[in-house]
């Protein structure tokens, strides 16, 4: 799970672009699907991974499908879910 959190933190601090994050996070998350992740985190990680799948950097392509999201929407989802995860980790 540390690798997932590190990937999120690198994106939020600008070390990874939205486009690179949208590729890296789902591939890292997919590797962890076979391992045990606390159930309280799975929904948040699923939401981030899903947002990555809907990320489309080209606004012209986003016109074709209402479900595509831009960099702002991706970042908002990641920040919201990361905050949720960190709150649980801080409690433990």
Please count the structural domains in the chain: 1
Distance between CA 77 and CA 84 in Å, rounded?
11
Rounded CA-CA distance 30/37 in Å is 12
Q: What is the CATH number of the domain that holds 85?
A: 1.20.120.650
> The domain containing residue 13 runs over which residues?
2-91
pLDDT in tens, 41-88: 889 999 999 999 999 999 998 888 889 999 999 999 999 999 999 998
Closest to 89 measured CA to CA, from 53, 40, 56, 47: 40
DSSP string, 5-64: HHHHHHHHTTSS-HHHHHHHHHHHHHHHTTS---HHHHHHHHHHHHHHHHB-S-HHHHHT
pTM: 0.88
């Amino acid at each position: 799970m540390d690798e997932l959190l590190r990937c999120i933190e690198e994106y939020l601090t600008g070390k990874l672009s939205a486009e690179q994050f949208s590729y890296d996070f789902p591939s890292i998350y997919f590797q962890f699907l076979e391992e045990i992740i606390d159930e309280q985190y799975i929904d948040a990680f699923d939401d981030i991974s899903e947002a990555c799948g809907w990320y489309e950097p080209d606004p012209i392509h986003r016109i074709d499908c209402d479900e595509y999201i831009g960099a702002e929407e991706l970042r908002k989802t990641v920040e919201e879910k990361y905050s949720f995860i960190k709150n649980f980790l801080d409690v433990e």
